[in-house]
């Protein structure tokens, strides 16, 4: 028999750092070690205490949901095992596992009970002051309804649970005040609400995710061939690499699996933070939607922070600068800049892609939303 603990963390330590940490733990020391395993002994008699294996790389899908909800960006895990019948050593192993998790801003999972322990503050953000103006990142995915995953709501929930739990809906509905409460309804209730919705299903998220929507599912009152979903984030937290990485993984995973034909992350400024949600006035910048009542209007005339191009644009994506491009399962991700940046600080995609693929801004004296567009001169056959 053995007693097993797992430590998940966003970073790892080397053997010297591990020895230092053990030295701070009531006379623990390493008896012997190799690249991936260390035997820990205790006291003057150097009695066997436990074994540490790792660090090993861990994939997103292998991080328990309860860990993902408290630790941002787990990339490594350690296994701490009390082997044989040395039950008296279990408390020492548990205490050290917690010390290791705290040092690495991670979490401990007791493999016998599935209990999670963590002091990590990695998923905590500093919210803006009430009534202050903030920048946001609007992330949008555009799909052909005929190609859309049959259960897009469950796909979204599974992806958010694994990669970005802050995007999970807290409350949801087709109109405000939202009647659905995810804590009560869970995945089943949210999926059912989406399947029955006749109009888009809106929801609120948790910081830094403010809100989002899923286009109506099978119950859509006026279905057309284009379907979309969105998430809106406060931009400031995304200046932290760990938050950006979590959003990037979510962005790509949904683009590949929905599947989308186009997706974008766009930064706009001047939103007013109420303390719980965002408001707009005449000073607020508004995002551009390339799908409007007339259908696909073309690539946006303003550059976006991130752009994901699916199969309709494959032949053109090769022209993008290689150092900014990542190939994904079903498309190409183009990152115009490292941190969230508005259009004024970005090079236009038209520097590399043909001008005839881009929509143009239409006249808008009354500041209508969505921003009116003039259709691109040429549309990929799949979107025409």
Highest mean pLDDT among 21-30, 164-173, 369-378: 164-173
Write down the pLDDT at residue 85: 64
- In the block, tokens 């109506």 appear at 216
Separation of alpha carbons 58 and 10, rounded Å: 10
CATH class of this structure's domain 2-118 = alpha beta
- How far apart CA 111 and CA 82 sit, in angstroms, is 12
Average pLDDT on 19-33 reads 83
Encoded tokens for 91: 């408390």
Cα separation, 11 vs 65, in Å, equals 18
Beta partners for residue 32, in sequence order: 39
Phi-psi region of 288 (alpha: psi -120 to 50; beta: other; left: phi over 0): beta
Does residue 170 register a pLDDT over 70? yes
Q: For residue 240, give Cα distances in angstroms to 237, 277, 287, 340, 384.
A: 6, 21, 23, 10, 39
What is the per-residue pLDDT across 246-289, written as a single tens digit (0 to 9) for each? 999 999 999 999 999 999 999 999 999 999 899 999 899 999 99
Rg (CA), the chain: 24
Q: How far apart are CA 246 and CA 244, in angstroms?
A: 5
Maximum separation of any 2 CA atoms in the chain, in Å:
83
pLDDT bucket at 162, cuts 50 / 70 / 90: very high
How many helices (H) and strands (E) would you count in the chain?
7, 22
Q: What pLDDT was estimated at residue 19?
A: 87
Mean pLDDT, to the nearest integer, of 152-170? 97
**Structure tokens that stand for 12 in this block:** 């790892």
Q: Spell out the domain ranges in the chain.
A: 2-118, 133-383
CB 173 within 8 A of CB 147: no
Instruction: Give the per-residue pLDDT at 25.
Output: 78
pLDDT at 15 over 90: no
The enclosing H or E element of 326 equals strand 325-327
Confidence of residue 309 (pLDDT cuts 50, 70, 90): very high
Whether residue 212 contacts residue 230, with contact meaning beta carbons closer than 8 Å, is answered with yes
**pLDDT per residue as tens digits for the range 99-144:** 999 999 999 999 999 999 999 999 999 999 999 999 999 999 999 9
Helices 15-23 and 90-103, interaxial angle, to 10°? 120
- Average pLDDT value for residue range 234-244: 97
Mean pLDDT of 135-156: 97
- What confidence tier does 27 reach under pLDDT thresholds 50, 70, 90? confident
Q: What is the mean pLDDT of residues 304-319?
A: 96
The mean predicted confidence, pLDDT, of the chain is 94
Please tell me which residue, 85 or 224, carries the higher pLDDT value. Answer: 224
Q: What is the rounded average pLDDT of the residues 6-14? A: 95
Q: What pLDDT, on a 0 to 100 scale, did the predictor assign at position 95?
A: 95
Q: With contact defined as beta carbons under 8 Å apart, do 10 and 74 qualify? A: yes
334-384 residue pLDDT tens? 999 999 999 999 999 999 999 999 999 999 888 878 889 999 999 999 999
In this prediction, what percent of the chain has a pLDDT beyond 90?
Answer: 86
pLDDT band at 35 (very low <50, low <70, confident <90, very high): low
- Has residue 34 got a pLDDT over 80? no
Q: Which pLDDT belongs to residue 132?
A: 97
Q: What is the DSSP string of 55-90?
A: EEE--GGGS-HHHHTTSSS--EEEEEEEETT-GGGH
């Amino acid at each position: 028999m053995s007693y097993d603990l797992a430590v998940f963390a966003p970073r790892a330590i080397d053997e010297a750092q591990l020895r230092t940490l053990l030295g701070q733990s009531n006379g623990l020391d390493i008896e012997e070690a190799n690249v991936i395993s260390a035997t820990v002994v205790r006291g003057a008699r150097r009695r066997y205490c436990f074994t540490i294996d790792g660090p090993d790389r861990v994939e997103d899908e292998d991080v328990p949901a309860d860990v993902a909800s408290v630790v941002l960006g787990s990339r490594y895990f350690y296994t701490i095992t009390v082997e044989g019948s040395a039950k008296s050593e279990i408390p020492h192993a548990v205490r050290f596992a917690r010390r290791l998790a705290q040092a690495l801003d991670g979490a401990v999972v007791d493999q016998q009970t599935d209990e999670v322990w963590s002091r990590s503050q990695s998923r905590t953000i500093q919210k803006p002051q009430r009534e202050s103006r903030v920048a946001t990142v609007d992330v949008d995915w555009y799909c052909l309804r005929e190609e859309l995953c049959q259960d897009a709501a469950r796909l979204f929930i599974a992806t958010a649970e694994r990669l970005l739990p802050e995007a999970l809906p807290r409350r949801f509905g087709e109109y405000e005040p939202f009647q659905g409460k995810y804590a009560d309804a869970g995945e089943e209730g949210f999926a059912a609400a989406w399947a029955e919705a006749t109009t888009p299903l809106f929801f609120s998220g948790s910081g830094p995710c403010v809100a989002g929507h899923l286009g109506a599912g099978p119950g859509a009152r006026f279905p057309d061939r284009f379907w979309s979903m969105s998430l809106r984030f406060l931009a400031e937290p995304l200046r932290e690499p760990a938050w950006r990485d979590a959003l990037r993984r979510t962005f790509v995973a949904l683009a590949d699996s929905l599947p989308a034909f186009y997706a974008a992350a766009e930064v706009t400024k001047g939103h007013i933070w109420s303390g719980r949600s965002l408001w707009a006035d005449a000073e607020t910048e508004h995002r551009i939607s390339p799908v409007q009542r007339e259908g696909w209007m073309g690539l946006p005339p303003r550059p976006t922070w991130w752009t994901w191009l699916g199969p309709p644009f494959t032949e053109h994506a090769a022209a993008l600068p290689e150092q900014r491009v990542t190939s994904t399962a079903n498309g190409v991700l183009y990152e115009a800049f490292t941190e969230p940046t508005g259009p004024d600080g970005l090079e236009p995609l038209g520097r590399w892609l043909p001008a005839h693929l881009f929509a143009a801004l239409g006249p808008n004296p009354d500041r209508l939303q969505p921003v009116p567009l003039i259709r691109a001169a040429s549309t990929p056959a799949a979107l025409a």
